[in-house]
Structure 1
């Protein structure tokens, strides 16, 4: 019950308060624009929206997204019970915050009304999306992101080589894919974006891991120097496209690019690009014993 309550609080904070590093990056984007420009005005409205949401404990966006959980638990902790706590907290948060119901059955087109989508088998949880893994630490760590439909729809996966892009099986080919993804997205997913990229792996794994990169702080530095350089170079290149906030022109199209590489089969080379909109909603919960802390 304590875990369920803590997850409900995580939902509330994540839905209504944007992370400080994201807000700071948006302010930097605004400062780079001329004060009488459309881009400056759009940034100003975004920041006003952030303040109104925080002051009124209201969702940052009417699309409160699909909840995506990345959970790490100590050995011996029941995965089933953690999932049940997440499901119950999701239903509570949907009613209390409130969150927009976003779980729709594909065949019957019925909305469940509580952001919970269960499969035909009792143990099959389709929504919220929950990834659970064990680790050798003594506490539970729960990362949550609320992933809106606009940014989800423009995510894309590439298979290299790609003749149409002239992209080979190398890092230059990867860069072509990432730039192509943003160019095709334009303003459809509410930029400025944060990009999560996974390279290599299998089709299912890189889709999961590209999205996981969106949990990283905008101001962090990749542990791999080669990827850190690539992230900064891509950020500068993409911002030079001039797509800008809301896709209406400006100097800031992305706030950050976050990349992860994965070992791959010799015959396969995939690139997955996930987008987060400017209203980046992510939060962390740490539980140890009877104590819980939001991050």
Structure 2
């Protein structure tokens, strides 16, 4: 097993757990700028800001729930992904022993914690070959609180709380996404981020929705209709008055990212993946021969990710 690869992945885990990337920090600052002075909303965001700074300084976990560990890997043909998995597991165990990760992997039958974040299904790997000569590794640490408020709808759907029916169209999609954000209030550690997949099947739709959270906050959707929908949902959500941590205010949703996948005629799923303010995802590029880090991703708030890196298919 490559010791260089294990060291590279350990550093990726450390930074992902403790140091939010530039686009997330910028989004949080924009949220602080629109909250009223001396409001509970601004007090919550100020507290969060102190937490962010202290965690980065001390290389300590930003949140007590260091989340489900999800690796998204694009690799050139011939790259040894079995060695990658071995090195990643070793890095996860080492990161847990050091304290970059908390002990988060629990046997679903016995309730026993494995103590090292290793076990069936943890960590998770999504591999996708490509024709580039570099390895692109993105890591997401997805907390349980925000995962609990993810949602999936089968259109048409009756939304009894608002007395409306969501049809099989863009307006119906908008209604169910807004319903999901409304139901998440006070539970998903707002202000949050959402990834949405229109279409596909049940299982794949939820995975693709989560992959949308790999996009940078300030990027632009290449589909004009979906881009407009992203902005409209964000605007409406920030007018709902949910606010940071559910205390009320102007900052409820920091980003909405949407993609569409083909579906079967009989099915119309809309899948919503929610991420809390501590949206921990980072990435590196590796030399495929030495496995040394050649660059860090998400270093610029305006960074735009290529569609092949963020959309359907990292499995």
| TM superposition score category, shorter chain reference | over 0.9
Cα distance between partner residues in 2 of 1:156 and 1:82:
32
CA-CA distance at 1:163 after TM superposition: 2.8
Aligned residues: 288
Alignment match, 1:88: 90
Per-residue CA deviation, residues 190-213 of structure 1 (Å, 9 max, x unaligned), is 000100101101111111111111
Alignment match, 2:278: 279
Cα distance between partner residues in 2 of 1:202 and 1:82:
29
| Runs of at least 4 residues off by over 3 Å | none
Asked if structure 1 preserves the Cα contact closer than 8 Å seen for 2:59 and 2:100, the reply is no
Cα distance between partner residues in 2 of 1:256 and 1:224:
16
CA-CA distance at 1:79 after TM superposition: 2.3
CA-CA distance at 1:89 after TM superposition: 1.0
Query: What SS class does the counterpart of residue 115 from structure 1 fall into?
Result: coil
CA-CA distance at 1:172 after TM superposition: 0.7
Structure 2 counterpart of 1:157, from 148, 152, 175: 152
* Higher alpha-carbon deviation: 70-79 or 196-205: 70-79
* Higher alpha-carbon deviation: 51-60 or 148-157: 51-60
Cα distance between partner residues in 2 of 1:142 and 1:159:
33
Cα distance between partner residues in 2 of 1:256 and 1:106:
32
Cα distance between partner residues in 1 of 2:261 and 2:56:
38
Consecutive unaligned residues of structure 1, counting only runs of 5 or more, are 119-125
Alignment of 1:128 with 2:123, yes or no, is yes
Asked if structure 2 preserves the Cα contact closer than 8 Å seen for 1:12 and 1:97, the reply is no
Alignment match, 2:234: 235
Over aligned residues, Cα RMSD in angstroms?
Answer: 1.1
Query: What SS class does the counterpart of residue 166 from structure 2 fall into?
Result: coil
Per-residue CA deviation, residues 64-110 of structure 1 (Å, 9 max, x unaligned), is 11111111111111222211111111111111233111111111111
Per-residue CA deviation, residues 17-47 of structure 1 (Å, 9 max, x unaligned), is 0111111111111111111111111111111
Consecutive unaligned residues of structure 2, counting only runs of 5 or more, are 298-315
When normalised by structure 2's length, the TM-score is 0.89
When normalised by structure 1's length, the TM-score is 0.95
